[in-house]
């Protein structure tokens, strides 16, 4: 069935669709019946300059193959204009792929405000602006599918990428809220950490590895998550690349429960540090109330627990 997933009559907006992963998503959705908005500013991977060529090339490729697509050259920082293009051209939006991205890698010691601000503007504010503009349409039609793009750098931290890592993990939090607020309107939002050969990675990985990491190998997961049949994966985090797809989640150690009174001292915590860090019987929290539940337990403990 998955091989025949189709998106006929649906309108898909892909940001940063002029190359790399975005282009792969765009070509796929167009080949499966969707009308696609190809957004790309056409700048360098450091976020400098811009031209319309990147988006135009992809639109032409889709049209040449008999598909439907329209270009948009705005920065995602003006995401409302990208959604406007979808509404003007096709009258609706069903799927939003927040994919546009840049890098400003530099050690934290040498990072400037510009390096920080530009990364936040493109990744975080960009995803916010497009999603904010699409949201009323999604709610009204009681249908929407969103993919946000995080990175292993965001999930785990990566040397020289304090700005990018902070922005990318920010997108995880953003996705979790969209998933919770959108659920009752059949708006489903998930976040992926891809690994693929693109101009972003071609300078940091050897050719034989890049050969195994075609952007096309990220597409099937995105296709599944954005299909109308997906109503169960919402607010999920995936790592995907080179044919591997895996889901990630938070894990909490058993933890130390002490009575919260004057006996709750640094020494009391230190004494049972092994419990704080013991992952033998972990829990997998998925909401803020989860921790409150633990506190209720702690409040019932007697001093003997210390």
Residues serving a catalytic function are 164, 168
Identify which of residues 188 and 195 has a Cβ nearer to ligand NAD in the complex: 195
Render the burial of 126-160: b for 16+ CB within 10 Å, e for the rest.
Answer: bbbbbbebbbebbbeeebbbbbbbbbbbbbeeeeb
Of all helices (H) and strands (E), which one includes residue 36? strand 35-39
The site map against ligand NAD for 98-127 (x = CB under 6 A) is -xxxx-------------------x---x-
Residue span binding ligand NAD (CB under 6 A) among the ranges 60-68, 187-195, 250-258, 280-288: 187-195
The number of CA neighbours under 13 Å toward the Cβ of 70 is 17
Identify which of residues 126 and 170 has a Cβ nearer to ligand NAD in the complex: 126
- The reply on whether position 42 binds ligand NAD by CB under 6 A is yes
Distance of alpha carbon 178 from alpha carbon 184, whole angstroms? 11
- The reply on whether position 165 binds ligand NAD by CB under 6 A is no
The number of CA neighbours under 13 Å toward the Cβ of 218 is 28
Chain CA centroid to CA 76, Å: 14
Of all helices (H) and strands (E), which one includes residue 192? strand 187-194
Candidates 149, 161, 234, 236: give the one binding ligand NAD (CB under 6 A): 149
Output phi, psi for 189, to 5 deg.
-125, 130
Closest approach of ligand NAD to the CB of residue 237, in Å: 13
Candidates 29, 47, 129, 227: give the one binding ligand NAD (CB under 6 A): 47
Catalog residues that contact ligand NAD under the rule CB under 6 A.
15-16, 18-22, 39-43, 45, 47, 54, 75-77, 99-102, 122, 126, 149, 151, 193-196, 198-201
């Amino acid at each position: 069935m998955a091989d025949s997933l189709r998106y006929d009559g649906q309108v898909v907006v892909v940001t940063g669709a002029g190359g790399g992963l975005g282009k792969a998503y765009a070509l796929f959705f167009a080949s499966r019946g969707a009308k696609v908005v190809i957004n790309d500013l056409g700048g360098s991977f450091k976020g400098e300059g811009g031209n319309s060529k990147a988006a135009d090339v992809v639109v032409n490729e889709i049209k040449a193959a008999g598909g439907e697509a329209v270009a948009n050259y705005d920065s995602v920082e003006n995401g409302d204009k990208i959604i406007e293009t979808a509404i003007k051209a096709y009258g609706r939006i069903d799927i939003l792929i927040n994919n546009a991205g840049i890098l400003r890698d530099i050690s934290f010691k040498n990072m400037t405000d510009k390096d920080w601000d530009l990364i936040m503007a493109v990744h975080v504010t960009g995803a916010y602006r497009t999603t904010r503009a699409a949201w009323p349409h999604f709610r009204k039609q009681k249908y929407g599918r969103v993919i946000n793009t995080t990175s292993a750098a965001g999930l785990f931290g990566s040397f020289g990428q304090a700005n990018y890592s902070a922005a990318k993990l920010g997108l995880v939090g953003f996705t979790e809220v969209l998933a919770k607020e959108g659920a009752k309107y059949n708006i489903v939002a998930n976040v992926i950490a891809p690994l693929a050969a693109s101009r972003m990675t071609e300078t940091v990985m050897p050719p034989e590895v890049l050969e195994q990491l075609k952007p096309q190998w990220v597409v099937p997961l995105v296709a599944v998550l954005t299909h109308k049949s997906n109503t169960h994966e919402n607010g999920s985090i995936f790592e995907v690349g080179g044919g591997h797809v895996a889901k990630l989640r938070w894990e909490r150690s058993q933890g130390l429960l002490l009575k919260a009174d004057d006996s709750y001292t640094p020494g009391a915590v230190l004494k049972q540090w092994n419990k704080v860090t013991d992952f033998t019987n972990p829990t997998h929290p998925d909401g803020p109330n989860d921790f409150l539940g633990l506190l209720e337990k702690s409040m019932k403990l007697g001093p003997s627990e210390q």
